[in-house]
Structure 1
Amino acid sequence: MSDIEKANSAHQNYAKFSAPPPTPIANPGALGLFSFASTTFILSLYNVNARGIAIPNVVVGMACFCGGLAQLLAGMWEFPRGNVFGATAFTSYGAFWMSYATILIPNSGILAAYTGHEDELSQALGIYLITWFMFTFLLMLGALRRNISFVALLFFLCITFVLLAVGAWNTSVNATNAGGGFGILTAMIAYYCGLSELLVKGESWFGLPLGTIKQERVD
């Protein structure tokens, strides 16, 4: 057997043992995306002062159980499916929503700790938001060869986090409103991606394209 044949045989054996095992777990992508979209949509409407709402605490329930718990579970189910990207994204944003809800829950004592130090609270929230921008940007780099829809989703989410951080740092209503506007756009893209995951070929009348990115062969 030649060296090339030995190398090919070794590669096939490695692929056989390194491939994720078959799993009966259904695709949790739609659950994760819809949960993210719905929670983002509600908070973003509050950020643009829709219907005169300025206090966002009604989103706490959604952030705990829909954007938080449901999305966290979706991330956990992505792990046995072998989808590291989906597992990382859903689990992390589920944790984001639960951590954000904790800030707004009165009994957590987080907001109460800044009583009389509102400017310090704004600076702290800005750091919190810009950290999630950094994470989202890194996640977007990991999505660049996946599809156009996911890249667009993460790109507009990056803009949303930056604007909200600027709004917090500068106590700028305009920046916060702009962040809310981009958040609504982000939620709409997430709904689209979630529906695309839900419309399974052979079980739906139509499908939604995510925008294929040509894969160049890398040796």
Structure 2
Amino acid sequence: MATTEIAKETGVSKALANPGPLGLAGFGITTIVLSSINAGLLPHEAVPVVVPLAFAYGGVAQIIAGILEFRTGNTFGMVAFTSYGLFWWWFAFLQWTIGAGWLKAPPASAVAVTLLAWGVFTFLLWVVTFRSNRAVWSIFLLLWITFFFLGFGDFGCTIGGVRCGAIGGWLGLLTGVDALLVAFVEVLNATWGRTVIPLGKPILG
């Protein structure tokens, strides 16, 4: 597929780079690291590693991607990347201010409600992705389920003796890996100037 055809499919001008892979990579790597903690693969003491990563790559990189998506006329990309970039800033500021003693740790129920609100927001964006490619659709499917499990986990929910938060951690790992792979495929296709690996047709054509 020619570069111009790829540009038409993605809505990105031929003269502009696609900012999507940057946002997906920033989201994917930060999600993988935090989810490793939520899943129990890393100890809770590893959270300080996530904070600067959430500021810099998960936060700044996605906000930049969102601004660039605005430039390309991609409303969905602008809303998604900017929103999740600022989500990572929320997480980083929360951990930083509590760790510095500037704020008291909030009750788990407050964090749970916040995560569930993000789950609802992500679910609504997932509905929009039925007109996007299946790769992006799968990321948002995994993500809204992840948010709900993490939210219910902070309410103390368990399934079969397993903490919902831990299940959310494993789902988050899948989400992060999925996002990272989609970023790789988009860079690969753009670099080769043709569709080397297809991302799948929209579910609703």
**TM range, smaller chain:** 0.7 to 0.9
Which runs of 5 or more structure 1 residues have no equivalent in the other structure? 1-19, 115-120
What's the CA shift string for 1:120-175, capped at 9, x where partnerless?
A: x1000001100100110110111111111111110110111001001101275711
Q: Which of 42, 50, 64 is equivalent to 2:33?
A: 42
Matched, 1:76 2:67: yes
How big is the shift at 1:197? 1.3
1:87-126 aligned at under 5 Å gives the runs: 87-105=78-96, 106-107=99-100, 109-110=102-103, 112=104, 114=106, 121-126=107-112
C-alpha separation in 1, matches of 2:30 and 2:191: 30
C-alpha separation in 2, matches of 1:205 and 1:23: 13
Instruction: Give the partner amino acid of 1:151.
Output: W
Name 1:191's counterpart in structure 2.
180
| Alpha-carbon spacing, 1:23–1:199, altered in 2? closer, same or farther (3 Å) | closer
Q: What is the CA RMSD across the aligned residues, in angstroms?
A: 2.3
Matched, 1:200 2:163: no
Name 1:67's counterpart in structure 2.
58
How big is the shift at 1:107? 3.2
How big is the shift at 1:196? 1.6
Q: Which of 142, 152, 156 is equivalent to 2:128?
A: 142
| Alpha-carbon spacing, 1:152–1:108, altered in 2? closer, same or farther (3 Å) | farther
The answer to whether the 8 Å contact 2:156/2:163 transfers is no
The answer to whether the 8 Å contact 2:58/2:88 transfers is yes
Name 2:149's counterpart in structure 1.
163
SS of residue matched to 2:192: coil
Matched, 1:54 2:48: no
Q: Which has the larger radius of gyration?
A: 1
What's the CA shift string for 1:38-97, capped at 9, x where partnerless?
A: 00000000111214x123232001100100011100100000101111111100000000
Moved over 3 A (4+): 20-25
- How many residues in Structure 1 have an aligned counterpart in Structure 2? 189
Which runs of 5 or more structure 2 residues have no equivalent in the other structure? 1-10
Instruction: Give the partner amino acid of 1:126.
Output: A
Q: TM-score, normalised by structure 2?
A: 0.84
SS of residue matched to 1:170: coil
C-alpha separation in 1, matches of 2:138 and 2:129: 10
Name 2:5's counterpart in structure 1.
none
| Alpha-carbon spacing, 1:100–1:54, altered in 2? closer, same or farther (3 Å) | same
Q: TM-score, normalised by structure 1?
A: 0.79
Instruction: Give the partner amino acid of 1:135.
Output: F
| Alpha-carbon spacing, 1:145–1:174, altered in 2? closer, same or farther (3 Å) | same
Report percent identity of matched pairs: 35
C-alpha separation in 2, matches of 1:189 and 1:36: 10
